[in-house]
Structure 1
Amino acid sequence: MTDMSVEESFEALVRWQHDVGSTEEHASSLDTQLLEHARRLVDAYREEDPRVEVLAVLAAFHLSRHVALGQESSADRWAAVALLARCLIYGGELPSSLAPKLREDVLAEAVELATELLRMRDTDPADDPALADRAVDAWRRIKDATPADHPDRPGHLSLFSKALLMRHADTGRPADLEEALAAGAERVRAIPDDHPGQDEAMEELGHMMMMRLDVTLDHSDVDELVSGWEQALNDLPEDDPGRVAKLSSLGADLLIRHARTGALEDLDRSIAFTREALRVIPDDHPYGEGLQHNLNVAVELRSQLVEGDGQARGPAVP
């Protein structure tokens, strides 16, 4: 097979697509010669060097066969799904006429592909420096293709943030950290307050804010976290099972803010909230050991910082 034969097959399918677009005559996709052209393009495809225009025309061809054959064409349907998913993560656009169920399947397949990019980058970051770029681009496109009210959008935002943080670890680019923070904040807003995933989203956002704090020494991020946890606690009933996680996070963030500012009030409040969390937590709760450790650290720190006149000596870190 020569490169010319591959290009000829591509051009043949492009001509077919143009004709179908004007006539909507899908029966033409059943032509055996067109099928051979499609197979030639598939055989020549290389994942490391995708051509979006080839993926798009192949997807259109298999979708047309699916329409022409109906329920007998499951193989063509799934071929179109796989091709459209690759088209999406490598920079193509999904057809606006795509049926909702088909769009869902394409998005799910794209998520699988993009997750594999993250896994490959996480397993051997030095193997291919471009993997981080590919992962970021793929998750950005998935995020953009996911409707705002889609139940999977918070998860897609989380993985988009993860890809950005991976690249930030490689390059130190502030823009990646800022974009990861923005995606994390959107994820928090997208999750209902009473959803069990809210605490995890807040904790991940807090982690990213602390990363930025280490770079900028700007305390506004910690202030925002503390305010967020305080508001979340105010909105929760006293017997809500999610209260423990929020008390724990508020206590931890107050301790961090104290370390940055030296404010004794933050240290005292950290101790109080952590003690409250320990008071209401079940004996077998997985947070118990960590909470007790945090409380011990805070109490020991207070005993070191407070002198005879009751004044704090100053920030624990510059």
Structure 2
Amino acid sequence: MARWFGRSRSRSYDKPGAAAESEHLEPLGVSDDLRLAYGRTGDPKLLRGSLQAAELAVEVYPVDDIRHAAALSSLCMLHRLSWERDRSAADLVKAVDYGRQAVDKSLPGDPVLPRHMSSLATALQEVYDSTKDTESIDEAIALYRGCLDIMPVRAAGLNEERVAQESNLANSLLRKGRTANDSAILDEAAEHARAALRDTPEDHPMHAPRLINLGGALLGLVQTGHREHMAAAEDMYARGLRGLPVGHPSRAGVEQTLAIIKGLRRQFGV
């Protein structure tokens, strides 16, 4: 799942001169700082403060300022975080609504439009996870594809945001492919998961999760009858498990899945 915990590129510190000195006075900057602090501490008061600052930012910045769309996108993300914390359906509805507004009100050439699209897509993916509404996952997939279409491809070096969108698209396709038991969709999920993994250095903190993501796509193919992917799925999960830090919340689930794959290999002799 995509989580934009970095600072907004629409903040005043991106501007030269004296304007950068007053970034702490800007509501979008305040919202960003409080959101980052919430990510570190999990304190719900910080999340509420970040929401209030983002709401103020929507009022302060005019529609023809790229920070207006950025503030709407922040509200999308923040209400999704509230949903993840409290599971209030109203938060998820607001996340999608603000995400749509952010995309619709982005100005031509806005360099962070892919972030707004991704934030909306992630909210829609949460809708799908809770409701199994196929239109939501289809829209999320279309948005992630759109992100990749408009993001630049670098000749050299790691474009982290583009790689993240490859991984996000893979995860959305995996969700749809598993539900539909559709090997063609799962094949595409594996293709994008491989691309994300290929472009993620081994010392990158997302390397282990992306190994596991590819393993999940391959396991999905196994579950549609393609047992030839079983050994590769086990390898991805095993390597991913070795790369996860001790105490990582995903370790137990990965260990359980790895045990299931090993059992299937013994059962089918592959």
Q: Aligning the two structures, in what range does the TM-score lie when normalised by the shorter sequence?
A: 0.5 to 0.7
Q: How many Å apart are 1:259 and its aligned residue?
A: 1.3
**Counterparts of 2:245 and 2:88, CA distance in 1:** 40
Name the counterpart of 1:268.
Answer: 231
**Which SS does the other structure have where 2:224 is aligned?**
helix
Verify: 1:185 aligned to 2:149, yes or no: no
Name the counterpart of 2:190.
Answer: 226
In 2, are the aligned partners of 1:199 and 1:246 still within 8 Å (CA)? no
**Which SS does the other structure have where 2:182 is aligned?**
coil
Alignment partner of 2:158 out of 175, 181, 194: 194
**Counterparts of 2:217 and 2:108, CA distance in 1:** 30
Aligned residues: 209
Q: How do 1:12-27 residues align onto structure 2 when only pairs under 5 Å count?
A: none
In 2, are the aligned partners of 1:143 and 1:156 still within 8 Å (CA)? yes
In 2, are the aligned partners of 1:82 and 1:109 still within 8 Å (CA)? no
Q: How many Å apart are 1:154 and its aligned residue?
A: 3.7
Name the counterpart of 1:210.
Answer: 174
Q: How do 1:22-171 residues align onto structure 2 when only pairs under 5 Å count?
A: 82=59, 94=63, 98=64, 103-114=65-76, 119=82, 123-125=87-89, 132=93, 135-146=95-106, 150=110, 152-165=112-125
Q: Which has the higher contact order (CA 8 A, sep 6+)?
A: 2
**Counterparts of 2:257 and 2:132, CA distance in 1:** 30
Structure 2 vs 1, CA of residues 297 and 194 (structure 1 numbering), >3 Å: closer, same or farther? farther
Verify: 1:295 aligned to 2:258, yes or no: yes
**Counterparts of 1:278 and 1:136, CA distance in 2:** 33
Q: How many Å apart are 1:256 and its aligned residue?
A: 1.8
Q: How many Å apart are 1:265 and its aligned residue?
A: 1.5
Q: How many Å apart are 1:224 and its aligned residue?
A: 0.8
Name the counterpart of 1:59.
Answer: none
Structure 2 vs 1, CA of residues 142 and 267 (structure 1 numbering), >3 Å: closer, same or farther? same
Task: Specify every segment of 5 or more residues in structure 2 that has no aligned partner in the other structure, as ranges.
Answer: 1-55
Q: How many Å apart are 1:168 and its aligned residue?
A: 5.1
TM-score, with length taken from structure 2: 0.57
**Counterparts of 1:182 and 1:136, CA distance in 2:** 15
Identity of aligned residues (%): 22
Q: Which residue identity does 2:193 align to in structure 1?
A: W
**Which SS does the other structure have where 1:146 is aligned?**
coil
Task: Specify every segment of 5 or more residues in structure 1 that has no aligned partner in the other structure, as ranges.
Answer: 1-78, 86-93, 311-318
Q: Which residue identity does 1:82 align to in structure 2?
A: E
In 1, are the aligned partners of 2:171 and 2:189 still within 8 Å (CA)? no
**Counterparts of 1:237 and 1:173, CA distance in 2:** 35
**Counterparts of 1:245 and 1:198, CA distance in 2:** 16
Q: Tell me which structure has the larger Cα radius of gyration.
A: 1
**Which SS does the other structure have where 1:194 is aligned?**
coil
Structure 2 vs 1, CA of residues 271 and 143 (structure 1 numbering), >3 Å: closer, same or farther? same
In 1, are the aligned partners of 2:117 and 2:147 still within 8 Å (CA)? yes
Q: Which residue identity does 2:175 align to in structure 1?
A: M
Query: Alpha carbon RMSD of aligned pairs, Å?
Result: 4.2
In 2, are the aligned partners of 1:196 and 1:242 still within 8 Å (CA)? no
Structure 2 vs 1, CA of residues 110 and 223 (structure 1 numbering), >3 Å: closer, same or farther? same
Structure 2 vs 1, CA of residues 289 and 217 (structure 1 numbering), >3 Å: closer, same or farther? closer
Q: How many Å apart are 1:227 and its aligned residue?
A: 1.6
**Which SS does the other structure have where 1:136 is aligned?**
helix
Q: How many Å apart are 1:110 and its aligned residue?
A: 2.8
* Partner deviation per Cα, 1:65-100 (whole Å, 9 max, x = no partner): xxxxxxxxxxxxxx9961766xxxxxxxx4xxx4xx
Q: How many Å apart are 1:158 and its aligned residue?
A: 2.8
Alignment partner of 1:246 out of 210, 223, 231: 210
TM-score, with length taken from structure 1: 0.50
**Counterparts of 1:266 and 1:80, CA distance in 2:** 49
Q: Which residue identity does 2:59 align to in structure 1?
A: A
Structure 2 vs 1, CA of residues 172 and 277 (structure 1 numbering), >3 Å: closer, same or farther? closer
